[in-house]
Amino acid sequence: MDVEASVREVVGRQGRDATRLLQILIALQDRLDWLPPAAITAVAAELGLPRARVEGVAGFYSLLHGTPAGRYRIRFSDNITDRMQGSEALRKRLCHLLWTECGKTSEDGLVSIGTTSCTGMGDQGPALLVNGRAVTRLDAARIERIAELVRGGVPLDDWPAEFFRVEEGIRRRGPLLGTPFEPGSALRAAIARGRTGWGEEMARSGLRGRGGAGFATATKWQACRDAPGADKVVVCNADEGEPGTFKDRVLLAHEAERVFEGMTLAAWATGARTGFVYLRGEYRFVLDALQAVLARRRAVGLLGMGILGEAGFDFDIEIHLGAGAYVCGEETALLESLEGRRGTPRIRPPFPVTHGYLGRPTVVNNVETLALATWIALEGGAAFAATGTPRSTGTKLLSVSGDCARPGVYEFPFGVTVAEVLEECGALDTLAVQVGGASGVTLAGHEFGRRIAFEDVPSAGAFMVFDGRRDPFEIAHAFVEFFAHESCGFCTPCRIGTTLLKNDLDKLARGVGGKVDLANIEWINRLLRNASHCGLGSSAPNPVEDGLAKFRPAWERRLRSLEFEPAFDLDAALGPARRMTGRSDPGAHLDREESSQ
Amino acid sequence: MSTSGSSAGPRKLRVATTSLAGCFGCHMSFLDIDEYLFDLLDRIEFDRSPLTDLKHCGPCDVGLIEGGVCNAENVHVLREFRKNCKTLVAVGACAINGGLPAQRNHLELGACLQEVYAFRDGLSGSGIPNDPELPLLIDQVHPIHEIVRVDYFLPGCPPSGAAFRAFLTDLIAGRTPRLDYPAIRYD
C-alpha cells in the first residue's frame, strides 16, 4: 500500500492528535512491517510536528523498526528464566532453519529474528513474540513448526491456536483472586459512602502501591483530589516490564472487571473524568478482550456519563499501547509516552498528582493496586488491613518462575516468608531467589526466613528461583545486560555507566578479568547509584552488589589474575600490522617471551 | 643556625614522566607551572622523563603518562612504568580516552597503511616500512587503563599548568587529588 495513503488514514483514525503519536506509529508498523523514512516524514507533516520529534519517538521504542524488518518479526524473550529453559539454543535452531542470523533480516525480507526483554511469560516460557503476538512454551517441535509456517508464508491468523494460548497460571488464590466479583458492586458500595467517605475507607485500609515503591494509595488519591485543576486523570500502569513479573498479565486477562472498576473507584475518589490504561506492547494479546470489557461496562452504565445514575460522576477509559521500553514503567516516563513522546523520566517534584498527564493532576497506580481497591470497597478498609502485616496490609501477588515444580501466580498475605513460598511452589535445592525483578534483591539461602513485605523484602511481584545448577554470576550478568539495553539514554551516568558495567561483566564472563576489575565494578556501582537521573540507573547496580556480597566466590573463580589484565589479546592486536609488514621478529610480538619461558 | 639541607626535609618523591601516543602538549603544559617548578624541585626529583633523558625507569613514587597506546613499544614502556611506579597517573585526553590518535580506530589498520604507503603522492610504491627497529602498530589505539591498572586520571587537552600544580601539590601533601570545577571546565 502507498505509504502516504496509509499515513493519512492512520493519522485520521487517531484524530490527528499529536499526543497519540506512539499509537499512530504502532498502527503504521502493523500495516507496513516497519517505519520507512517516508512514513516518518508524512506523519510529521500530517501532525504538524518537527520530523526529528517523530523520528525520536520512533527510535526510542524497541518494538518499532526504523530499518526494514521481515514480514515475520520474531523476538525471543531474553530473560534469565527463558535462557534457563533453553531459549538460546531454540533461537539458534530457528535461525538455522530459516537461513538467517540473530539480529538480522533475511535477504528475501521474509523474516527477522532477534531478542527482546522479558515478555512476561516466565511461568510458561521460553516465549517469543511474532509481530507482537506472544507464543509460549517453545520447544524443539514448536520451533520446527514455526519455521515451516514462516517458510510457507502462512498468515498468523492461520497458525495453530495453541501456539498463542496463554495459560491462566494462577496457583494460589486469596481474597483477590479467589472471590467472585460482580461488576459494579464495589462502585455501588463506594458511592454509598460518598466521595469523602470512600477516601477515608481507603485510608483505613493502609493500601500501599503494588508497583514496588509502596506509596500510600489513599494519600496519593487525596493529593490528586486536592490539587487545583478540573481535568483530573487516572492512569493504570500496565507496563509490567520488570523481568520475571507477570501477575498483572493474569489480572488483566482474568480480573479485568476488577481493574477497570478500581480505576473508576479512583475516579470517584479524585473526581477524575479521564482514564488511561498504559498496556505494555508485549501484552497486546489481551487488548481485544479488554476493549470488550470496556464496551460491556459502558453498556451497563459503569463507564461514561452519570455512572450508576450518579449525576456528575463521569468517567471513561482508553487503552494506550506501549512498544517495548522498560523505563516506561516509571510513572513519569509513562506519562511522557502517553503524551506521544520518548519515555524519558521527568524530574520530580512536581509529582504527577499535581502535574501529570498534559500537566493535569494525575493518579498513576499499578494494576494490582487498582484491583485491590474493589476488595476494600466491598469488605471495608478494616477488613483489608486485618490481612498481611501492620505496615504492609492485604495480599501480594507473586509471579513465581525459574527452578520450581509449579511456576505461576500466587496470592499470599504480606509477611509470607521466602521459605514458605519456595515450599509451596515446589522448589528444591534453592541457591538464590531474585525478589522484585532485575532491580530487586538477590537473596541467598541464609535469608530465606525473611518476609515479603515493604518493611523487610519489598517486591513488585517477581520471584525468580535459581537452584544449585545455576551460576550466580550469570544471573547478575543477565540483569546487567538488561539494564544496559533498557537505559533510556537521557542521562550520562546511566547511559555510559550501565554499559561500562556490562563491559566489565562481559570481560569476567570471557575469563580474562583481574581482581582490579572487581574494584572498578564497585566504583561504577557507586557512580550509577548516586548520579543517575531516575531509578533505572540507581537500581542497576543491585544485582551486582548483591552478587558480590553474597556469591563472591562465583565471581572470583572467573578471574584470570589478581592484578589487572587487558580485556583483549594484545598479541592478536598486532596481527594485522604483522601481516601488512610481513614481520615475525620478536619485536613484532607481545607477551610471547613470558609464555615461552 | 639550624641544620638545613635536604637530609632534614622529607624524602623527595621520585617522579617519572613519558609521552606514548601523545603530542608532548601535556608535557609542555606541565612546564607552564613556570617558577613553581623550583618549589616543586624541593619536593620531587625526576627519574625517567624527557626532562632528564634517562632511558629507563627505576623505582618511583609517581609516574605521569601522556598519550594512549598505539604500538608495541608503548606497551613495553607503559608496563615498565606500572612495574616501577607506586602511583600511576593518566594525564590528558589521549591517555584517558585515546584522544586524537584513536580517530583511526574506526578504520581498518591495513587500509590506513595502504592509504599512506601505497596511494599517497611521492610515497606510492615505497612499501609499508617493515624495519624491526620500528614499533609495530596495534590494530586499535587504546587508553592506558585498558592495558594496565591506573590510579588517577588528570583530564584536559592538555590539563592546564594550574591543574598540574594543584594535582601534584595534593599528591605531595598526601591528599587524594581533587580538581575544582573550574580546573576541569573546558568551554
Determine, for residues B136 and A588 on separate chains, whether the beta-carbon distance falls below 8 Å. yes
Burial bucket for residue A211 (CB in 10 Å: 0-12, 13-18, 19+):
buried
Q: Cβ(A415)–Cβ(A451) under 8 Å? A: yes
Least Cα separation, residue A578 to chain B (angstroms): 7
pLDDT of residue A447: 97
pLDDT of residue A597: 31
User: Which residue in chain B is spatially nearest to A516 when comparing CA positions?
Assistant: B149
d(CA A116, CA A13): 29
Q: pLDDT of A240-277, one tens digit each?
A: 999 999 999 999 999 999 999 999 999 999 999 999 99
Collapse the DSSP code of A62 into the 3-class scheme (helix H, G, I; strand E, B; otherwise coil) and give the result.
coil
**Which option is the CATH number for A473-561: 1.10.3720.10, 1.20.140.10, 1.10.150.130, 1.20.1440.230?**
1.20.1440.230
Q: Which residues of B139-171 are buried (b: 16+ CB within 10 A; e: fewer)?
A: bbbbbbbbbbbbebbbbbbbbbbbbbbbbbeeb
Strands A111-116 and A104-105: antiparallel
Chain B positions touching A583 (Cβ under 8 A) are 130, 132, 136
* CB-based contact, A152 to chain B, within 8 Å: no
pLDDT-wise least confident of A355-364, A539-548, B85-94, B168-177: B168-177
Least Cα separation, residue A542 to chain B (angstroms): 25
* CB-based contact, B176 to chain A, within 8 Å: no
Tracing cell 525480507 back to the chain, one arrives at A109
d(CA A337, CA A318): 14
CA distances from A87 to A92, A128, A136 (A): 9, 9, 11
The residue extents of the domains of chain A are 3-60, 72-162, 171-385, 395-470, 473-561
Report the sign of the C-alpha dihedral through residues B38, B44, B48, B54, in that order: positive
Query: A304: which DSSP letter?
Result: B
Q: pLDDT of A70-81, one tens digit each?
A: 999 999 999 999
Of chain A, the percentage scoring pLDDT greater than 70 comes to: 99
Strands A111-116 and B152-154: unpaired
* CB-based contact, A575 to chain B, within 8 Å: yes
Amino acid at B142: H
d(CA B25, CA B158): 6
pLDDT of residue A561: 87
Burial bucket for residue A80 (CB in 10 Å: 0-12, 13-18, 19+):
buried
Tracing cell 517505519 back to the chain, one arrives at A35
- Mean residue pLDDT of chain A comes to 95
pLDDT of residue A406: 97
Q: pLDDT of A172-215, one tens digit each?
A: 999 999 999 999 999 999 999 999 999 999 999 999 999 988 99
The DSSP line for A362-414 is EEEEEHHHHHHHHHHHHH-HHHHHTSB-SSSBSEEEEEEEESSSS-EEEEEET
- Residues belonging to chain B: 187
Fold of A395-470: Ubiquitin-like (UB roll) (3.10.20)
pLDDT of residue A592: 60
Closest CA to B96 of B130, B51, B142, B55: B142
Closest CA to A308 of A270, A265, A277, A276: A265
* CB-based contact, B113 to chain A, within 8 Å: yes
User: Which residue in chain B is spatially nearest to A504 when comparing CA positions?
Assistant: B146
Arithmetic mean of pLDDT, A56-69: 95
pLDDT of residue B127: 86
Chain A positions touching B108 (Cβ under 8 A) are 576
Determine, for residues B147 and A575 on separate chains, whether the beta-carbon distance falls below 8 Å. no
pLDDT of residue B122: 81
Q: pLDDT of A402-415, one tens digit each?
A: 999 999 999 999 99
d(CA B165, CA B39): 11
Selected residues 509-548 of chain A with any CB under 8 Å from a CB in chain B? 514, 516
CB atoms within 10 A of CB A275: 22
Q: Cβ(A49)–Cβ(A16) under 8 Å? A: no
What's the pLDDT band for B4 if we cut at 50, 70, 90? very low
Q: Cβ(A31)–Cβ(A1) under 8 Å? A: yes
Least Cα separation, residue A506 to chain B (angstroms): 14
Which domains does chain B show, CATH number per domain?
13-104+138-181 (3.40.50.700)
Q: pLDDT of A559-585, one tens digit each?
A: 998 888 899 999 999 999 999 999 999
Q: Cβ(A249)–Cβ(A279) under 8 Å? A: no
Q: List A72's β-bridge partners, or say none.
A: A111
pLDDT reading at B6 higher than 60: no
pLDDT of residue A596: 34
Q: pLDDT of A418-438, one tens digit each?
A: 999 999 999 999 999 999 999
- Residues belonging to chain A: 597
Q: Identify which has the larger pLDDT, A212 or A554.
A: A554
Q: Which of B130, B139, B146 sits opposite A566 (nearest CB)?
A: B146
What's the pLDDT band for A591 if we cut at 50, 70, 90? confident
pLDDT of residue B130: 92
* CB-based contact, B13 to chain A, within 8 Å: no
Q: pLDDT of A303-315, one tens digit each?
A: 999 999 999 999 9
User: Which residue in chain A is spatially nearest to B144 when comparing CA positions?
Assistant: A566
CB atoms within 10 A of CB A420: 15
Long-range interactions of A96-105: CB distance < 8 A, separation 24+:
A97/A143, A97/A144, A97/A147, A98/A147, A98/A150, A98/A151, A105/A67, A105/A68, A105/A69, A105/A70
d(CA A269, CA A353): 13
Amino acid at B187: D
Instruction: Determine the angle formed by the axes of helices A185-205 and A367-379, rounding to 10 degrees.
Output: 100
Determine, for residues B136 and A582 on separate chains, whether the beta-carbon distance falls below 8 Å. no
pLDDT of residue B120: 84
Determine, for residues A577 and B137 on separate chains, whether the beta-carbon distance falls below 8 Å. yes
What's the pLDDT band for B8 if we cut at 50, 70, 90? low
- The stretches of A318-366 forming alpha helices (DSSP H) are 331-338
Q: List B69's β-bridge partners, or say none.
A: B142
* CB-based contact, B72 to chain A, within 8 Å: yes
* Assigned architecture for domain A171-385: 3-Layer(aba) Sandwich (3.40)
pLDDT reading at A593 higher than 60: no
pLDDT reading at A455 higher than 70: yes
Report the sign of the C-alpha dihedral through residues A570, A575, A576, A577, in that order: positive
* CB-based contact, A587 to chain B, within 8 Å: yes
pLDDT reading at B2 higher than 60: no
Least Cα separation, residue A103 to chain B (angstroms): 22
pLDDT of residue A463: 98
CB atoms within 10 A of CB A510: 12
Chain A positions touching B109 (Cβ under 8 A) are 576-577, 580
CA distances from A267 to A304, A371, A378, A400 (A): 12, 14, 17, 32
pLDDT reading at B181 higher than 50: yes
Superfamily of domain A72-162: Glutaredoxin (3.40.30.10)
pLDDT of residue B3: 43
Q: pLDDT of B19-57, one tens digit each?
A: 999 999 999 999 999 999 999 999 999 999 999 999 999
pLDDT of residue A594: 46
Closest CA to A233 of A211, A266, A202: A266
Q: List A73's β-bridge partners, or say none.
A: A112
User: Which residue in chain B is spatially nearest to A587 when comparing CA positions?
Assistant: B132
User: Sheet of B60-66: strands edge to edge?
Assistant: B44-46, B13-19, B60-66, B85-91, B152-154
Report the sign of the C-alpha dihedral through residues A465, A470, A474, A478, in that order: negative
Q: pLDDT of B83-92, one tens digit each?
A: 999 999 999 9
Closest CA to B74 of B119, B18, B32, B25: B18
d(CA A35, CA A69): 9
Chain B positions touching A504 (Cβ under 8 A) are none
* CB-based contact, A350 to chain B, within 8 Å: no
User: What are phi and psi for residue A241, nearest 5 degrees?
Assistant: -100, -5
pLDDT of residue B7: 52
Collapse the DSSP code of A313 into the 3-class scheme (helix H, G, I; strand E, B; otherwise coil) and give the result.
coil
Determine, for residues B110 and A582 on separate chains, whether the beta-carbon distance falls below 8 Å. no
d(CA A291, CA A512): 53
* CB-based contact, B118 to chain A, within 8 Å: no
* CB-based contact, A577 to chain B, within 8 Å: yes
Arithmetic mean of pLDDT, A25-51: 96
pLDDT of residue A101: 93
* CB-based contact, B138 to chain A, within 8 Å: yes
E-assigned strands of A290-343? 316-321
Q: pLDDT of A456-487, one tens digit each?
A: 999 999 999 999 999 999 999 999 999 999 99
pLDDT reading at A444 higher than 70: yes
Determine, for residues B136 and A583 on separate chains, whether the beta-carbon distance falls below 8 Å. yes
What's the pLDDT band for B124 if we cut at 50, 70, 90? low
